[in-house]
Every structure is written in structure tokens, then in C-alpha cells.
Amino acid sequence: MVCYNLAMIIDFHTHVFSPQIKKNRSKYIDSDPCFAILYSNPKARLATADELIASMDKDGVDISVIVNYGWTTHEMCVETNDYILESIARYPHRLIGFCSVQPNSYEAAIAEIERCVKGGIRGVGEMRPDVQLFDLRDEEMMKPFIEVIARHRLILLTHASEPVGHEYPGKGGITPDMLYPFITSFPNLTIVCAHWGGGLPFYALMPEVKQAMTNVFFDTAASPFLYSPQIYNQVIQLVGADKILFGSDYPLLTPGQLLKEINSLDLPEETRSLILSGNAQRLLGIKD
């Protein structure tokens, strides 16, 4: 039996950019639609790995998972993966990296996953199928990628969004009806659906949906911008506290902002521990 550190905090959803991208924002806005959607507004903050570490120290976060973006070109995936690989090498005890690929590049994308695995990558994501112009439901296309992800025991993290509610930059169209066929096609794949899965946990009231989500987890990234704090107790009741991963979506939000919300809920200590670190420790194989 593995014992988890009750005092540990793992942020499962953060983003960083190289100093070059931060310095030359306009160049990347012009060259990549995904980056343009999220960062055309000059108020949208970009952060480096060093700034992420400083934020972690301030808010008491022990480990952060850096997830990449859904870049539209293979070249941008490689460039940003390089910075993530460099960052986890510099901070091996603090940072864990996920890489990004463009599935339409096919053989090059599979080779990129293999390359990143050698550099210590633990997952693939944050995938943005709507922006990257591929269909999660295309089983023939997705199968080769899932095979390499499964072979290396990687986690796949995908963007998810709500089919209703307010619009915001980057909301996209990866809604529960897009996610569910993908989940059922690859039931043994460990999948993390960002942003509470766009409401997918609510469908766990359907027995077949709950059963299909055996290996599916949900992160809390950007939660205060999307849902009231009641979302925690609701999802705990629907799918269990062991399915929820604390994620801030830094630098959109700081870890402290979400921790304040979680601490206000008066959750049982065991539940709070699972969300803040226990579930992530289990998925990532982190022992005390």
C-alpha cells in the first residue's frame, strides 16, 4: 500500500513559455492560431519556468506539471517541447513535463513523442483537436498515437469545454459529446480532461457513462472562471474524489487563488489530500 504525503501539493495543469516567446509575442501571434486565440490580448500573461517556480514557492506548491499547447504546426510543437524538456531537466524535483504533437504530421508526431519520452516526458497534452484540426473520434487516425502513448505508459491530457454558458478566449468546441466517443474507443488509456471535462462528470449519473470513465480524471484548471465552488462537492458525489486533480492553469490563475477556494469548502482531510496530491501521486508514480 502506497502512503501519500498529506502535506504535498501538486499542480497538475500549468503553462510556461521560453523567454524568446515571451519577448517576441507578436511574432508567435502571427504564426500560430492557437497562440493568437489565447494571447492576442496583451493583458494575457506569459510566464517562464523560473516564474512558475517562484509562484510555486510563494503558494506552497511542491510539484507542477507543465502541459504544452495545441500548436498547429509540428515545428512549434518541437520548439516548445524543447523548452519544457530543458525546464524539467533544470528542476527535476519540482517540474514534470507533458509534450505536444500535431497528429496531422503523423510519423513526425509519433517520432516526437518517442524523442520526448527519452527526455523524461510523462504525458501528451494539452491537446486542442478543434484548433489543431483533427478529430478525436477518428479512431483510425488516433490509434497509432494512442498505441505509442500506451506503450510508454503516458497520460493524455486534453482540453475540454462546456457546450453552454459564456464565451471566452480559447473556450473551443471540445465538449462532452466529442470526448465520450474517444473515451469509449480507448478504455485502457489514462485520460485527463481539463477544466472539469467541460461538464462531462455530470453525465456519470448514467451508469454506462460512469463505467466507461474508469481511467478518466478531471482537473480543476481555471475553475473559478467557469463554475461556482459547489462544483467540487458535486463532482465528488458523481465520480468520486479520487478522480479530481488540482490544477491552476497558471499563469491564467495562481495556485493560491484555487487553494483559497478549496480551503473554503471545509472538505474532509482525506478528500482534500486526494485532490491536492494523492491522485496525482498515483498517476505519476510519485511516492513519499
Inter-residue contact 72 to 132 (CB < 8 Å):
yes
Give the pLDDT of residue 7. 75
User: Which domains are delineated in the chain?
Assistant: 10-284 (3.20.20.140)
Give the pLDDT of residue 1. 36
Mean pLDDT by 10 residues, the chain (288 residues): 62 98 96 93 97 98 98 97 98 98 96 98 97 94 96 98 96 97 98 98 98 98 97 98 98 97 96 98 91
Residue 89: phi and psi, rounded to 5, are -70, -35
- Cis omega (within 30 of 0) on the bond before 126? yes
Q: Which long-range contacts (CB under 8 A, 24 or more apart) does 207-210 make?
A: 209/180, 210/238, 210/239
What gap in Å lies between CA 42 and CA 30, rounded to an integer? 14
The vertex-170 CA angle with 166 and 172, nearest 5°, equals 75
**Cell numbers placing 153:** 505508459
- Cis omega (within 30 of 0) on the bond before 251? yes
Give the pLDDT of residue 42. 94
